[in-house]
Amino acid sequence: MFNVKITGTGSYLPEKVLTNFDLEKMVDTSDEWIRTRSGIKERHIASEDEATSDLVAVAAKRAMENAGVSSSDIDLIIVATDTPDNAYPSTACWVQKHLGIKDEMPAFDLEAACSGYLYALIIAAGMIQSKLIDRVLVCAGETMSRAIDWEDRSICVLFGDGAGCSVVERSDGDSAILSTYWAADGNLGDLLIQPAGGSRMPATHETVEKKLHSLRMAGNEVFKKAVQKMKKSAEEALKRANIKGEDIDLYIPHQANIRIIEATIKRAGIPREKTAVTIDKTGNVSAATLPITLDQAVREGRLKRGDILLFTVFGGGFTWGSAVVRW
Ligand code: UT7
């Protein structure tokens, strides 16, 4: 069995920045409340002519450039997203078009809410190891601003738009995905849900009037589960890789709330200075938070080959998981 590695990363955040002070003018909230309850100061918002595939395509080009490959070298595109351009075609097919790829190749979307990038990485690694495919563009992108009720202060302050991609391929050296852990619990699905727009509740005038196409979240309950499951999955992945919390060089947790991150690292024994935080500048970008944070860490020179990296996510579904990577 050979190893699998990430050979390039890229990300894209839309130009428009919405600060907490801007939000103070839109809903009954304050910079102080948002900062102290979530750690967020600002977030990026897609322009009217940008859909999720447009954000992903920019991040994908940056990732391929970083890996030193071109679109003709890619064998599969996976896009993890909660906010696809359309129900179909998939956002991955639109990304293939934006990248100008005309060759026959598979492309598909993956829905695992905030856990999407980690799920896609695990699937890509398995496909490479089973020799089905050589090189995968693992992408995640969100236009959360399109799935939000901008009058609901409990939700609209938390999310942002953006995309992150990684080129994943066979490794003949020491770089490797050392262990993974992933899980889901559909019994708790109602706690974080976009109720309308699917087969359970198709769009009607009433669903639009009642704002049932917007994200609903039982914040407190999601918070508690997130801390519990992020700690458990981080510990499980570390145990499977035979690595201790203090031996991690960089921890990239899901960026939903700085208090969830701090509670998780305290309980899992991971040093704060080794934890990458981007939530202050991006808000929660759902599936894209992990690859955006990874790309920023790479570009800031926080990772060198051989370093031990731990990813942890938690999101709707519920879904959660971790991966230990030797960079
Ligand atoms: O990415 C997927 C996973 N998502 C998450 O992990 C998010 C998990 N949840 C959270 O991060 C937190 O629960 C929130 C940030 C959503 C909320 O923080 P909280 O400390 O749990 O606040 P709360 O919901 O208990 O609300 C406290 C108070 C309430 O007022 P009362 O009832 O105490 O008078 C809210 O109405 O804060 C009020 N509130 C606000 N006040 C000002 C809620 N939103 C706002 C707001 N500005 N934007």
- Torsion angle of C-alpha atoms 287, 288, 291, 296, degrees rounded to 10: -150
Pocket probe mutation, ligand 1, options 21, 36, 154, 193, max atoms within 8 Å of Cβ: 154
**116 CB burial (10 A radius; 0-12, 13-18, 19+):** buried
Instruction: Locate 119 and state its tokens.
Output: 């799920």
* For the CA of 316, the nearest atom of ligand 1: 2
* Cα 132 from Cα 140, distance rounded (Å): 22
CATH class of the domain comprising 3-172: alpha beta
- Nearest residue (by CA) to ligand 1, atom 12, is 219
User: Cα separation of 172 and 128, whole Å?
Assistant: 12
Give the global pTM: 0.97
Active-site residue, 93 included: no
pLDDT at 106: 96
CA of 154 to the centre of ligand 1 (A): 6
Q: Is 75 exposed, middle or buried (0-12, 13-18, 19+ CB in 10 A)?
A: middle
Active-site residue, from 93, 114, 156, 165: 114
Predicted local confidence at residue 33, as pLDDT: 98
Q: Where in the chain is the domain with CATH 3.40.47.10?
A: 3-172, 177-326
114 is catalytic: yes
Nearest protein Cα to ligand 1, atom 11: 257
In the residue annotation, 257 being an active-site residue is answered as: no
The whole-number pLDDT of residue 272 equals 94
Residue 102: per-residue pLDDT:
80
Residues 211-243 pLDDT 10s: 999 999 999 999 999 999 999 999 999 999 999
Rounded Cα–Cα distance for residues 24 and 42 (Å): 12
Taking the centre of ligand 1 as the mean of its atom positions, its distance from the CA of residue 120, in whole angstroms, is: 30
pLDDT at 34: 98
Which residues on neighbouring strands pair with residue 108, listed in sequence order? 78
Q: Are 181 and 327 in contact (CB under 8 A)?
A: no
The protein residue whose alpha carbon is closest to atom 18 in ligand 1 is 37
Q: How far is the CA of 21 from the centre of ligand 1 (A)?
A: 18
Cα radius of gyration (the chain)? 19
**Sequential pLDDT tens for the chain (327 residues):** 789 999 999 999 999 999 999 999 999 999 999 999 999 999 999 999 999 999 999 999 999 999 999 999 999 999 999 999 999 999 999 999 999 988 789 999 999 999 999 999 999 999 999 999 999 999 999 999 999 999 999 999 999 999 999 999 999 899 999 999 999 999 999 999 999 999 999 999 999 999 999 999 999 999 999 999 999 999 999 999 999 988 999 999 999 999 999 999 999 889 999 999 999 999 999 999 999 999 999 999 999 999 999 999 999 999 999 999 999
CATH architecture of 177-326: 3-Layer(aba) Sandwich (3.40)
Predicted confidence at residue 64, as pLDDT, reads: 98
Q: Which of 20, 66, 257, 284 is catalytic?
A: 284
Atom nearest to 254 CA in ligand 1: 1
| Ligand 1 atom, smallest distance to 157 CA | 48
Q: What pLDDT is attached to residue 137?
A: 98
CA–CA separation, 43 and 192 (whole Å)? 21
Any residues with Cβ below 6 Å from ligand 1, and which? 29, 33-34, 37-38, 114, 153-154, 157, 219-220, 222-223, 226, 256-257, 260, 284, 314-315
